[in-house]
Structure 1
Amino acid sequence: MKKLTILHTSDIHGNVYPLNYGNNEVAYLGLGKIATIIAQERMIDEQLILIDNGDVIQGTPLTYHYVQFLKDRPNPMVKILNYLSYDAAVIGNHEFNYGIDVLNKAVSESSFPWLSANTVHEDSDKPFFGKPYIIKEINSVKVAILGVTTHYIPNWESEENIVGLKFKDCLQETKNWVAYIKEYEKPDVLIVSYHGGFERDLETGEPTENLTGENQGYAMCQEIEGIDILLTGHQHRSLTGNVNGVEIVQPSHSGQAIGKVCLTLNNENQIIDKTSSLLIVDDVEADKEVLTLTSEYETQTQAWLDTPIGMIEGDMLITDPFLIRTEDNPLIEFINKVQMEIAGVDISNTALFNNASPGFRPNVTMRDIVSNYIYPNTLKVLQLSGQDIMDALEQNASYFILNEEGQLDVNPAFLLPKTQHYNYDMWEGIDYILDIRKPVGERVTTLNYHGAPIDRNGTYHVIMNNYRAGGGGDYTMFKDKPVVKDIPMDMTELIANYIMKRKTIKATVNHNWKVIWK
């Protein structure tokens, strides 16, 4: 009998230290803790395979500060992955957020290959990052590892960050490469590491989201013969199990857990048993050597986060994120005002990205800004019709349901399989009411612009982040609409500059929108 262990991280999103950057309180996450588990597992099996499944170089103030101020130095996340002797990493969609130059530099500094069989040169169809798959031989067992990346990236990413690239359909490319590997490599074990998730319930096969192609993991398990293990991510779910004979795992996000798959093979290298599990970091002490590797980056990041920016006169704190999404409030109104002034337009939308957003304290620092605006978004002004705006608000209104008690609640579709609070927008420059007592698609009962009903055939210029402008979050009414203005500067920098220029910001609210349900 032979044993083979595969460890799998995904969606680390720049988390190294076990802390919450918003308040520097302890958090049970990060590569520091993951590193301790990896070391423990290597004591059991020195020859284990270690793979990162994508979205590792972006996501925290540490990685943002690095890109803004220290990018001539080695990438801090790559330094750690090199130290931990990763065998391979897969390109995730957020790898592109800081631009192709930052990504290429990270790849060049890596002592392991980055895989993405379906991310290709636009003019040649050759894999952009070189290797679509690698072969490892462990204890006379031949293992193939194929990497693929969700092909939905052009719907979210700024065009300048993916110039010259084409993202081919994951399902079809995985079929093609699995067939190729089986014929020409004849591996004993075939692993697909897919930066994407599952579009259907793993037990019933019922769709759990709109079948856009963003996630195709279920179809891979059902339609592709020869996959032994499917490592997944992107959805930030905690999953283990077996789908149609394929062992699957997805290890949450931010370094809260690491996925583990154990194979047992007979002497003819045939798999006779497969099990998957998640190793949780909660009670694990962070590896001090790993923390030391990036300690200088972290020290500079913390100093930058405490840099004073300005003052807030009034209340921009968040005590109830659910309530924030039901009526106009000073924080969201402020962000929309920043966007409108920068773009020179009078209609804007933005979101409260997650429920951990604390709002702005009276003495604003960079820590406040990055704690509330957590994504490296840029801005675009789109030319929309009044009907487009109406359709977007109806999509917005689907965020809510009335529960069994008749109380307002969040639609489970925005919570499962992945939390999507960032896909509910709040608007400035228009007056509107969402009535959740009405059926989905008929909930916008008031929609006015400059005091009169909006002209559904009229033309309006609207500022929004680049993710939404590409149709992200099922806002298909925005996709491929004319771009009037592109503002490539990161939104956190725009907010900081806005506050620093004015020194003091008054918290205001004009009550231009509300949600009603009773």
Structure 2
Amino acid sequence: MTLIHDTHFHGRFEDAGDAELNLQRYFAVADQLRSEYDNAAFIGNGDDLAPSLLGLEYEGSHMIEALNYMQPAAVGAGNHEFDFGIEVAQERFQTSEFPWVIANLLTPDGEPVPGTQRWTTFETGSATVGVFGLGTESFHTITSYPDDWQVLDNVAAAREAVAALEGDVDFIICASHISTGAQERVANNVDGLDAIVGSHSGVVFDAPKTFNGTTVAEFGDEFGHLGRLTFDLETGELSEWERLDFYNSAALGDGDSPPGGDSENHVPRDVQEIAGDEELASMAQAYTAELEEQLGQPIVESEVELNATYDNYAVETGLGNLITDLMREVGDFEPGIDVAVQNAGGIRSNTMYGPGAITGINVMDILPFPNEIEVYELSGAKLREYIEGSVRPMPGDFGSQPAIQVSGISYEWWGHDGETNVENVFVGGEPLDESETYLVSTNDYVAGRSVIGEGERVLSSGQFQGPFMIDQLEGRDTISPTRGHRMIRVDETVDPATVEGDGETITLTASLPTEASEGFTPDTYRVVPRTGESVTPESASASDGMVTATFDAAELTELASMDDPTLRLVGGFDPDEEHYGYTNDGGDLIELPPSSGYSYHQLKASVDAETVLAATATATPTETETETGTETSGTETSGTETSGSQPGFGATAAVGGAAGGAYLYDRLSDDETEG
């Protein structure tokens, strides 16, 4: 039999970065494969209703119409099916003309989620196939799933499903919406399961993997890839497979090569040569026309590339700085909001934008959730607890991650061996005071699932993040958000750096963490102060286990001359996998670092400011720019981050403007300011 997989459409009819990669072409190929192969079935793995601008506007009903037309054999329910609450999810499931399956979600009474089945069977040609779904065990914390509804352990639910199906079917499939690592755990601990397709992670495998006789295939999400797996029904083994890699030849630059093609199983498909399904094309046009008219025009020009990819989980991004800087402009607070925090999972589309025009649709694709901006009074102790609790440590599928974007606060973070820590936490350039009360801007999703919600809410803005950001950007000609040092990764802390100067230069020398390191990563070193711009060296090298970085004396003296500068030399090294000892379920060492946001680990060595000043008594400081949270031009001037000031934009004229997004505001009731 043949499986064509999967869906994971996020409520979109087209790719956020390239409209030529779209549902009508994707399905045309899937449907062709379904007709070409005997005993073929199209399997979905969920997250089909949201998050996206269309998902927010239609709450997933548009995708039910599309999926009813496409007629998948079954779809495993994902977490984003529940973004608009359990009642909407049930309604969408119940109006579907195909089965939704999820074995590990139950009502308080132990029944399947209404409109879904825990498992089911279907006939394809001569084969009877059993299929069940699995969702991530963190359902309660990542979506609007009722607290009193049950989420079962994935392995236990999978064993129950296989036991119910085996003996009556020729083949058993899990339509998965769990992470890559969790799938390996299920496969290794559940006998009788033939295949797991899809995932929560959106990972693209080079080839299917086999664990305990179970074939596991993950080929990304949305419209970039489509998988075909052909199995021998007698043995249950994979006999043929291919990963179709879609690309748009019209978007390739001079000298660019199409993706894929590096293996006979990776098949490049130019979407310009694919005739899309006409019914789906008509459906997409009907749903998108009104939104295109209202939000399709440029609202601002970006002078830099904006990174809305999943890198926002792993590293500080200019876009993350832009979003959080704007969140501190909500309301009318004097002297202003101290800190803003944004969950990385709320930054979607997984696309790069610009340089160039940014449209309202772009913004809504980046911030598609019905998340309202709120402001809380929070103690410094709770603020520290929040940022430390947000860090995702190793071991993990995607490595150590801060998992948030921030404004007004900077800190060092560490996450290893299942533990986390933050150090050198500064708010507005000053050390965090755990007994002080700070104003913190966030969204209601974060507040409802973290210690921030334990503070006193002083503003319910009535503003969804996407429309609010549109309003804030429309008054500006250009934006140029940059990365700074708001979140500094520290994997290893080494002895303080030694300092030598000759009046013109300063040389800092620090030890590499020899047991943890296999080498030095050039072009990653800099000295970071508690506030203001970091300074990069004129040269950096490594020898005999030591790193030597030489700086312009005047620039480094400038940093050392500020009050309590808290100088630190930070930079990269190649991690030694054996030292860290992280392994997968099969006992093999995990290649480090696994995060797409980093290609190295990072060390920190403190730098004594008094020693720097003593070594450069003859050097003359020169002016260096202070850190700008987000640079702008036009009707607003750019703010600078100095001790006691707020980074990011200056105060905006009004919060409640409705340009470019009024039709979305009425989804919230008229909340009033509290407190």
Asked if Structure 1 and Structure 2 have the same fold, meaning a TM-score greater than 0.5 normalized by the shorter chain, the answer is yes
Contact 1:318 1:357 (C-alpha < 8 Å) held by counterparts? no
Deviation at 1:328, TM superposition (A): 11
Larger Cα Rg: Structure 1 or Structure 2?
2
The correspondence of residues 96-245 of structure 1 with structure 2, limited to 5 A, is 96-158=82-144, 162=146, 165-182=149-166, 186-199=168-181, 216-239=182-205, 240-245=208-213
Q: In the superposition, relative to structure 1, how do residues 178 and 38 fare at CA in structure 2: closer, same or farther (>3 Å)? A: same
1:64 aligns with 2:56: yes
Find the counterpart in structure 2 of residue 298 from structure 1: 288
Residue 82 (structure 1) aligned to one of 68, 71, 85? 68
Contact 1:119 1:168 (C-alpha < 8 Å) held by counterparts? yes
1:426 aligns with 2:406: yes
The correspondence of residues 370-381 of structure 1 with structure 2, limited to 5 A, is 370-379=364-373
Secondary structure of the corresponding residue to residue 271 of structure 1: coil
1:482 aligns with 2:458: no
Deviation at 1:302, TM superposition (A): 1.1
Q: Number of paired residues? A: 447
Runs of at least 5 residues in structure 1 that lack an aligned partner in the other structure: 200-215, 400-412, 472-477
Distance in 1 between residues matched to 2:275 and 2:156, nearest whole Å:
40
Residue 45 (structure 2) aligned to one of 37, 53, 58? 53
Distance in 2 between residues matched to 1:189 and 1:299, nearest whole Å:
43
Indicate the percent of aligned positions where both proteins have the same amino acid. 20
Secondary structure of the corresponding residue to residue 251 of structure 1: coil
Find the counterpart in structure 2 of residue 447 from structure 1: 426
Q: In the superposition, relative to structure 1, how do residues 327 and 55 fare at CA in structure 2: closer, same or farther (>3 Å)? A: closer
Q: In the superposition, relative to structure 1, how do residues 435 and 91 fare at CA in structure 2: closer, same or farther (>3 Å)? A: closer
Contact 1:10 1:251 (C-alpha < 8 Å) held by counterparts? no
CA distances 1:466-510 after superposition (whole Å, capped 9, x unpaired): 454466xxxxxx359526446675321343466789999625323
Distance in 1 between residues matched to 2:19 and 2:472, nearest whole Å:
31
Backbone CA RMSD of aligned residues: 4.2
Q: In the superposition, relative to structure 1, how do residues 453 and 46 fare at CA in structure 2: closer, same or farther (>3 Å)? A: same
Q: In the superposition, relative to structure 1, how do residues 180 and 39 fare at CA in structure 2: closer, same or farther (>3 Å)? A: closer
Distance in 2 between residues matched to 1:83 and 1:144, nearest whole Å:
22
Contact 2:476 2:636 (C-alpha < 8 Å) held by counterparts? no
Residue 226 (structure 2) aligned to one of 258, 275, 296? 258
Distance in 1 between residues matched to 2:155 and 2:452, nearest whole Å:
24
1:7 aligns with 2:137: no
Find the counterpart in structure 1 of residue 217 from structure 2: 249
1:16 aligns with 2:13: yes
CA distances 1:199-258 after superposition (whole Å, capped 9, x unpaired): 2xxxxxxxxxxxxxxxx2111011111101111311111122212210111121122112
Distance in 2 between residues matched to 1:45 and 1:326, nearest whole Å:
45
Secondary structure of the corresponding residue to residue 2 of structure 2: strand
Distance in 1 between residues matched to 2:475 and 2:146, nearest whole Å:
33
Find the counterpart in structure 1 of residue 34 from structure 2: 42
Secondary structure of the corresponding residue to residue 238 of structure 1: coil
Distance in 1 between residues matched to 2:75 and 2:392, nearest whole Å:
37
Distance in 1 between residues matched to 2:96 and 2:165, nearest whole Å:
25
Distance in 2 between residues matched to 1:265 and 1:258, nearest whole Å:
22
Runs of at least 5 residues in structure 2 that lack an aligned partner in the other structure: 248-269, 478-633, 648-675
Q: Residue type of the partner of 1:295? A: Q
CA distances 1:373-419 after superposition (whole Å, capped 9, x unpaired): 344434455665423433555678999xxxxxxxxxxxxx89x9559
Distance in 2 between residues matched to 1:463 and 1:150, nearest whole Å:
28
Residue 510 (structure 1) aligned to one of 640, 648, 653? 640
Find the counterpart in structure 1 of residue 245 from structure 2: 280
Residue 386 (structure 1) aligned to one of 374, 377, 380? 380
Greater helix fraction, Structure 1 or Structure 2: 1
TM superposition score normalised by structure 2: 0.57
Contact 1:117 1:146 (C-alpha < 8 Å) held by counterparts? yes
TM superposition score normalised by structure 1: 0.72
Contact 2:325 2:407 (C-alpha < 8 Å) held by counterparts? no
Deviation at 1:288, TM superposition (A): 3.7
Contact 1:330 1:507 (C-alpha < 8 Å) held by counterparts? no
